[in-house]
Structure 1
């Protein structure tokens, strides 16, 4: 919630304090005031990453991503130069967001976003041929397969897709809404940057729930048990409740952002009318 929105609500609440008969309306509006206070007092800020942040982002990724992301953890893949290089290429595109602690400026989480093109899966397949570690090779091949599976470029007639590729938060800073805020701001960044399609491959149920809350549509699903190696054995065996990858997308991000702004303005207008009615 914006500071302007919060100020308007506090003014309305101030007027209602002199009208005891409208206590019910005050209780309803107090919901918004509490939300505003929570956001204002949050010890974190979401900002766009710069080149000086890359090393720290990789460090947080090593600590928080590899042990928890279902596909990586299932294959027991440790931090490695190949994955680091892949993340750095994504960060270099300039769409990565980080969560910083207001008190010390440290990065406690990030959402690495990138622009994906139709030729990217083929590049990953070729690069995987030079990887000696079999598990890393399997993972990169799966990424290539996953990108091609919905074939959004051809189906939607677009040349570029904005992808929310890596999401991670330090363990001690979890369960505070940071993952949701990072994805929410990433979604807005993609829309504001003019991308026609936003995409997220939710490899965990937690990420999938965030995508649903953000109003994204599920367009494909790949159960982990259905992705097999050359021995016809499942490549991944992650713990419950992670049963597969769900691909979500937003095919009209600019329109949806505009609709959200219009709804916010309507809410402000309704609050102003309520203020005029009871004063």
Structure 2
């Protein structure tokens, strides 16, 4: 069924189309984004997407016959210096934080605790940030195909490791089935604000954020 699916690099020309795709099929479904307040904008800005595309590390899945966009995977390169800069940011959740701020602080905390550069003794890694598939095309292995294609791209580019923070139960299961290592996890009920209340309360079965990694 997927023989007509082509995987290729995302270019800046694809930017607006990919951004609309994310709004429709990622930000509306991603467990932590669903915890936003009604007045808040979900997701990140188009300028962040543009910078990720510029890296040449982002891929799309399209139907060859129709050019329909059915999946994307967004990635970025990281090194110890970039991680140190992130660590300087205050990750304490405040009442003034937007949901986007809370998500960023949560993921930064998890990345720091996973300590991948020290754990794997590496100097360069590929960070898989988002992988998502059009709703009617899910369950056909497209997300795993995109992830495997990124692993091959990472090898070609000289990356030593690939990693992803899985906020979704289903994405975590996919990487588990692909044989990635689980290196860290934080249950949502254990990540509390200053009042001792969970910062995120997504619907079941999304119970934790899990960090997966694989050597390339």
- Pairing 1:79–2:79 present: no
Paired with 2:134 and 2:16, the residues of 1 have a C-alpha distance of 15
Task: Out of 165-174 and 56-65, give the one that drifted further.
Answer: 165-174
Whose strand fraction is larger, Structure 1's or Structure 2's?
2
Structure of greater relative contact order (alpha carbons < 8 Å, 6+ residues apart): 2
The residue matched to 2:114 in structure 1 has which SS?
coil
- Paired residue for 1:134, among 98, 102, 109? 98
- Paired residue for 1:185, among 144, 149, 153? 149
Contact in 2 for aligned 1:121/1:144 (Cα 8 Å): no
Deviations 1:82-127 (A, max 9, x none): 443333322221111101121221322100011123324634837x
Q: Which residue of 2 aligns with 1:106?
A: 68
- Paired residue for 1:61, among 2, 16, 22? 22
Q: Give TM-score, length-normalised by structure 2.
A: 0.87
Measured after TM superposition, the shift of residue 216 of structure 1 is 0.8
Q: Which residue of 2 aligns with 1:70?
A: 31
- Paired residue for 1:169, among 112, 115, 133? 133
Contact in 1 for aligned 2:35/2:99 (Cα 8 Å): no
Kindly report the root-mean-square deviation, in angstroms, between the aligned alpha carbons of the 2 structures: 2.4
Paired with 1:205 and 1:179, the residues of 2 have a C-alpha distance of 14
Contact in 2 for aligned 1:202/1:245 (Cα 8 Å): yes
Contact in 1 for aligned 2:36/2:42 (Cα 8 Å): no
Task: Out of 94-103 and 83-92, give the one that drifted further.
Answer: 83-92
Aligned ranges 1:1-279 → 2 under 5 Å = 38-39=1-2, 42-76=3-37, 78-79=41-42, 82-118=44-80, 119-120=82-83, 122-123=85-86, 125=89, 134-251=98-215, 253=216
In structure 2, relative to structure 1, the CA distance for the partners of 1:121 and 1:230 (3 Å cut) is farther
Deviations 1:1-26 (A, max 9, x none): xxxxxxxxxxxxxxxxxxxxxxxxxx
Measured after TM superposition, the shift of residue 233 of structure 1 is 1.1
Contact in 1 for aligned 2:33/2:42 (Cα 8 Å): no
How many residues matched?
210
The residue matched to 1:238 in structure 2 has which SS?
coil
Contact in 2 for aligned 1:222/1:246 (Cα 8 Å): yes
Measured after TM superposition, the shift of residue 159 of structure 1 is 2.3
Structure 1: runs of 5 or more not aligned: 1-37, 254-279
Measured after TM superposition, the shift of residue 133 of structure 1 is 5.5
Whose helix fraction is larger, Structure 1's or Structure 2's?
1
Paired with 2:122 and 2:169, the residues of 1 have a C-alpha distance of 28
Contact in 2 for aligned 1:121/1:147 (Cα 8 Å): no
In structure 2, relative to structure 1, the CA distance for the partners of 1:90 and 1:242 (3 Å cut) is same
Contact in 2 for aligned 1:48/1:98 (Cα 8 Å): yes
